[in-house]
Structure 1
Amino acid sequence: MPTEVSNVLDGNPWLLLIFGAAIAFRFIGGVLAEASESWAKVLGPVGGHRWRDRAERKKAARRSSQAQDYEDMHDEIRRLTRRVNTLAPAMEILEDYLIYDASYHTTLELQMIQNGYTMPEPRHIGWLEYKRQHTFSEPEGGAT
């Protein structure tokens, strides 16, 4: 079979040119018809409208996908907002407690020193001192 094709092409080199032109026309025509309604009309008999309809379906699918992506992002923002609103009061209570706890232990330690006692080891440390002693790596995107 390859020998027969070779013999036909050797005798008729213009067939190869026609075949190449048909492939180029198919590709270029499809691109033009997808991009332009007027080219789809010009190429109508050879599939221009089919290519244009395909482009419209792709465009609609892309819009639908984008709309879904936006909806997903809005859902995530709403979820994170609820989470932040839930955590904010708890963090305020924690901050108030840490201040109370530091004050309590400082007062206790001062009273023990005034009465001649020493604090047992390990010595209780407050949040700020604890934070200074430990290195926290900042998350990407800024300070906490």
Structure 2
Amino acid sequence: MFRWLASDRNRYHLRARSVVLSSDEIIEVRAAQRTFEGAYVRTALSQFSFALIVLKVFTAEFYSIGALFAVYGTGVLFISLYRRHQGNRQFFSEVGEDGLHRRKFRTSGNAVIILTALSVAAYAGLIVLTLNLAQ
């Protein structure tokens, strides 16, 4: 019923074009998707779970901390969507100055920088909210 052609087996489909990848590159793409996309989603779910526990178990003084973790989880979820979007464009071709076509790979450094900034902001907010509880 479904028959894969050998030429289609190592083809990474992008929106308007396809890039032919080797078996090793296909394995790298799949491993990155399993590892990083799953990690972002698991982190977002754990932040939502912690926010729910804080909101349900603790008193009203801790609601701001629960809301902070809910916002942080939402931010991580949006970053995971952004990283997935960028991951679909990691492989591209470029014509060099000498006229040769070169295959390029772009890392997901932008998503890491955004996640780092979000995490620093969230933990700074957590410190401020915790210090406000002590007063």
TM-score between both structures, scaled by the size of structure 1: 0.30
Structure showing greater radius of gyration is 1
Tell which has more relative contact order, 1 or 2 (C-alpha 8 A, sep 6+): 2
Of Structure 1 and Structure 2, the greater helix share is in 1
